[in-house]
Amino acid sequence: DQQVKQNSPSLSVQEGRISILNCDYTNSMFDYFLWYKKYPAEGPTFLISISSIKDKNEDGRFTVFLNKSAKHLSLHIVPSQPGDSAVYFCAATSRTYKYIFGTGTRLKVLA
């Protein structure tokens, strides 16, 4: 029973274009969502988060959108850069210790 799903295992985008990474969740109790970025042989690093009281949060080139009715969030990276090539995990929580992670999407930005 996967409560947080990232249905695209991989994504390739040209440098300078927009990257859109998607995440779906099933538990309506989730009210805080995060995106982490992971390079090989390193731990995940926090990228951006959004509370369920918002539908959008921006931080530089990164924007997260939340559609509560569809139980869907997405991460937009504009413009994409080769250094953005990594695995991206979304995570969700209902304000407990338990963060439920998706399986990750490997983004490759082509120069």
Which residues here bind other proteins, judged by CB under 8 A? 4, 32, 34, 36, 41-46, 49, 51, 89, 91, 93, 95-99, 101-104
Task: CB nearer to other proteins: give 20 or 100.
Answer: 100
8 A C-beta contact, residue 33 and residue 3: no
- Cβ 105 to other proteins shortest distance, Å: 11
User: Do the Cβ atoms of 30 and 96 come closer than 8 Å?
Assistant: no
Q: Which two tokens stand for residue 84?
A: 């953005």
Q: For residues 4 and 75, which CB has a smaller minimum distance to other proteins in the complex?
A: 4
- Cα atoms in the 13 Å half-sphere on the side-chain side of 1: 2
Compute the least distance from the CB of residue 44 to other proteins, in Å: 5
